[in-house]
Amino acid sequence: MVLENDQNGYNTTPWLKADEIGTSASNEFYQSDHVKVENSICGETTSNEETAVSDCESGVSGSYCVQQHHLFDEGFVRLAEGDRVHDLVRTRFIRSLGMLGERTEVVAIHRNACSSVMAQARIQSFQVYMRAEEKRRHGNANVKYAWYGTSGKEEIGVIISHGFGHGGKSQNNNGLFGSALYLSPDDSPLESVKSSTVDEDGIRHLLLCRVILGKPELVHPGSDQRYPSSEEYDSGVDSLSAPKKYIIWCARMNTHILPEYVISFKVPSMKGLVKFEETFRKPSSPWMPFPTLISVLSKFLPPPTIALISKFHKDHREKKISREELVQKVRQIAGDKLLIAVIKSFRSKVACK
């Protein structure tokens, strides 16, 4: 996005460029849309439905190379480097971060031991809802892996002991897509990284969870939705074709989400990352004046969504948010596919004049 300067030299009118709208091809390191892959990266591949839900159910497998670690209290088992599951989760996480992955240090990966009576009860509850969803959806409960950005070790302890929504920042949504819990698809962890909090040691922690999506519905930014819009749906997404957010309504967050792993890592400053990416950004792609973009988008998006985009545009003009934040918010709201199509269409019309 380039900016037009006013007579005082201040940036006023942003122009959105096509090269600022990245594409995120799904990394097929493992197939997250199948529940029973590598025992859903929890253990040995199996066709048994009971054991396929989680390795938590049978305690620590003898095939794991594990050790306790001071990062967490009892209830977690650290996976050692070189362990198959450790390396699978780590590689998937690093690759999915793209450029940021090159500068990310994974400190540790822990598995939820699910050793308490209540933890076992939560597993059984997850199984019951998964089977119920399978019956409703012709055998496919649409179970995915997803990341959840935490506020730190204390929140993780609360979630494991009591579930989501009992403290910390469990509802990490800021209301953008309604009252719900937000998670990031396993191949798109960046949003969860951004929503996580750095602890006193400079470490961030994400939960890797199993999530029952069932049939998701599209939820537009600015929504005040609190539950499925009809009996037909079970969850929400920000995009049906390439979701960056899984939206689990509050009433289902402790029955449809099963935390399985914690990945602890260090990343450079997010502001530093923006500057790093900006240095290598090519300014030659098609662009479009932002007011014109909003006008064109109004033909495709509902009024509440356009109002939200206009609000962010105003916030940028008033220097309340940076242009990078504006671009990211517009990409999140409108979706890259629509933005690229609109910008290219605009430039082709301009070229014909």
CB burial string 299-333: b at 16+ within 10 A, e below: eebeeebbebbeebbeebbeeebebbebbbbbbbb
Measured CA to CA, the distance from residue 311 to residue 141 in angstroms comes to: 38
Confidence (pLDDT) at 87: 96
Q: Where are the domains of the chain?
A: 2-23+287-352, 38-270
Confidence (pLDDT) at 327: 86
Measured CA to CA, the distance from residue 95 to residue 102 in angstroms comes to: 8
Write out the DSSP string of 267-328: ---HHHHHHHHHHT--TTS-EEEHHHHHHHHTTTS-HHHHHHHHHHHHHHHTTSS-HHHHHH
Confidence (pLDDT) at 281: 44
Measured CA to CA, the distance from residue 236 to residue 228 in angstroms comes to: 8
Confidence (pLDDT) at 285: 52
SS3 28: coil
Confidence (pLDDT) at 16: 56
Measured CA to CA, the distance from residue 203 to residue 246 in angstroms comes to: 24
Instruction: Tell the residue number behind the tokens 């938590």, with chain if given.
Output: 56
Write out the DSSP string of 74-136: TTEEEEPTT-HHHHHHHHHHHHHTGGGGGG-EEEEEEEE---SHHHHHHHHHHHHHHHHHHHH
List the chain pLDDT tens, one digit each, 353 residues: 433 333 333 344 455 555 555 433 333 334 433 333 333 434 333 333 333 344 444 333 333 333 444 577 668 899 999 999 999 999 999 999 888 888 899 999 999 998 889 899 999 999 999 999 999 999 999 999 999 999 999 999 999 988 998 544 434 445 567 678 999 999 999 889 988 999 999 999 999 999 999 999 998 877 788 889 999 999 999 888 888 899 999 999 999 999 999 999 999 876 655 444 444 444 345 667 888 888 889 889 999 999 999 998 888 888 788 877 888 888 888 888 888 888 888 777 766 65
Confidence (pLDDT) at 346: 78
Confidence (pLDDT) at 350: 60
Confidence (pLDDT) at 328: 84
- Tell me if the pTM is above 0.75: no
Q: Cβ neighbours of residue 8 under 8 Å, at least 6 residues apart?
A: none
Instruction: Tell the residue number behind the tokens 């969504």, with chain if given.
Output: 305
Helix (H) or strand (E) holding 4: strand 2-5
Q: What is the DSSP code (8-state) at residue 58? A: G
Measured CA to CA, the distance from residue 134 to residue 137 in angstroms comes to: 5
Are 339 and 330 in contact by the 8 Å Cβ rule? The answer is: yes
Helix (H) or strand (E) holding 162: helix 153-162
Which CATH number is 38-270's, of 3.40.50.300, 3.90.228.10, 3.40.640.10, 3.40.1410.10? 3.90.228.10
Sign of CA dihedral 278, 282, 287, 293: negative
SS3 330: helix
Measured CA to CA, the distance from residue 115 to residue 101 in angstroms comes to: 32
Measured CA to CA, the distance from residue 25 to residue 128 in angstroms comes to: 33
